[in-house]
Amino acid sequence: SPGPSPAPAAPPFHGTAFLDPGIITADDLTALVDLTFVGQGPRAMFDRRTEAFGTVDAYLFTAQFGAAKTVEIQVNPEFSQAQAEVEARTYATAVGRLPAFAFRDLDTMWIHAGRFPFGGGNRNLLIHTAQGEEYAAGGYLEEIFVHEGTHTSIDGDHAAAAGWLAAQTADGAFVSTYARDNPTREDVAETMVPYLARRFRADRLPPATVAAIRGAIPNRLRYLDCLGLTMEPLR
C-alpha cells in the first residue's frame, strides 16, 4: 500500500510584507497629485484600539491620485489640524507609490494614533501612526500598503475564486506561515508582495529570495500572471 503523503513544505517566509524593504522605496514615484483640507465632519471609522467602529468629528482631506482618482482621508481629531495634515500627506504619499491596481476599490483612508496593525478592506486602508512610524523606519511602509491594498481591491474577486483555490491545492504549500495559518483570509495578500517582487523587482532581491518564491508557489504565480497586473503607479 502507498505510504503516507509527504508533509507540506515549510513556508519560506513568516510574513511577506517584510520580505525586503527595497521592493518599493521613497525613491519610487508617487501618484499623489494634490491634498486638500475640506473641513471636519462626522465619520464612522474602525479603530483597532477598541476593535470597533466609532463616529468622530474627523479632519477630512481629499487626496487626488493620478488624473482622476480621489480618496477621502479621515483623520481622528485626537491630532491637531496641522498634525492631521502632516499625517494625511505622509501616508497619501506612500500609498501613491502603490501599483495602480491597489486603487480600484479604495475610497477612504482612516488615520488614528497608536501602535496597532494596519488594515485593508471596507474600500479603505486603516492606519495607526505609531505603527506606521515603525514600518517606515524599517523601510516596509509601502510593502505593508501593498498587502493591505490587496485586501481592499483584489480579495473580493479572487480569494475564493475556483482558479485561486486550485492553484493553492496544486502548490501544496504556502509562501508564508501567516498565509498558512489564515489560508482563506491572508493567502492572496501574502502572495502579492512576493509576486510583484519576483515578477518586476527581482533585480532588487537576493537570488535566493527569488528562488524561494518561485519554488513555493509556482501555480499561484501563474494565476496572478493572468491578471495583467503591473507595478506601474496610477496615471
Given a contact cutoff of 8 angstroms between Cβ atoms, the answer to whether 152 and 121 are in contact is yes
Residue ranges of alpha helices (H) inside the chain are: 81-95, 129-138, 141-153, 155-158, 162-171, 177-181, 187-200, 207-216, 218-225
Give DSSP secondary structure letters for 137-202.
Answer: HHT-HHHHHHHHHHHHHTHHHHTT-HHHHHHHHHH-S-SBHHHHHSTTTTHHHHHHHHHHHHHH-G
Burial 11-20 (b: 16+ CB within 10 A, else e): bbbebbbbbb
How far, in Å, CA of 52 to CA of 50, rounded?
5
What is the distance of C-alpha 72 from the center of its chain?
18
How far, in Å, CA of 132 to CA of 121, rounded?
18
Please give the grid coordinates belonging to residue 200.
518586476
| pLDDT per residue rounded down to tens, the chain (235 residues) | 565 656 678 999 999 999 999 999 999 999 999 999 999 999 999 999 999 999 999 999 999 999 999 999 999 999 999 999 999 999 999 999 999 999 999 999 999 999 999 999 999 999 999 999 999 999 999 999 999 999 999 999 999 999 999 999 999 999 999 999 999 999 999 999 999 999 999 999 999 999 999 999 999 999 999 999 999 999 9
Predicted structure pTM score: 0.96
